[in-house]
Amino acid sequence: MHRPGMPEKKNPYITAVLLAFTADQLCKREAERNLPLQKSVPLSFAPADKVSLQHVKNKGFALNRLDKYPALIRLTSAAVCAATGVGFAKALQKKEDPFTKMGLALSFGGGLSNTLDRVVKQEVTDYLAVRHGEKAVVYNLADFSLFAGMVLIGAGAVWKSRKQNNRE
């Protein structure tokens, strides 16, 4: 219950969705404005042969997979994002563990950012190149948000399983 004169308590999970989405959209906009396509720019705080900024347009899923099927890409992305959003909304209503809630929040925020790009621009802007030997994979913050979300959802599943086992 909110008391007059007291600050309202913010929901950290909603904040995480907004932060994941907004941070990625801002970074994409900066990459589009300031980095020429395909050009690699070293970061001053990271080994140049391992991590750099690189502006890439991705019309498919990860590593441009299925880029020849743009309608399928948009539909699948929108469906998975919507399902994640529904799962997130349901988790907020339940007494769900914090790992799962935050995992769904990060996954939904990152997924929403990439889905918006796929639907509106028919491509996703990636900008952070990570080199593995001779090959570089270019990511964006939404990708890292999705990955972190999946790790947290997995941690939530382990946490629930251990909690159940301790009750038995």
pLDDT in tens, 75-103: 999 999 999 999 999 999 988 789 999 99
Q: What is the 3-state secondary structure (H, E, C) of 139-167?
A: ECHHHHHHHHHHHHHHHHHHHHHHHHHHH
- Rounded-to-integer distance, Cα 166 and Cα 168, Å: 6
Dihedral angle, C-alpha 142, 143, 145, 149, nearest 10 °: 140
Q: What is the pTM of this model?
A: 0.88
pLDDT in tens, 27-80: 999 999 999 999 889 888 888 789 999 999 999 998 888 899 999 999 999 999
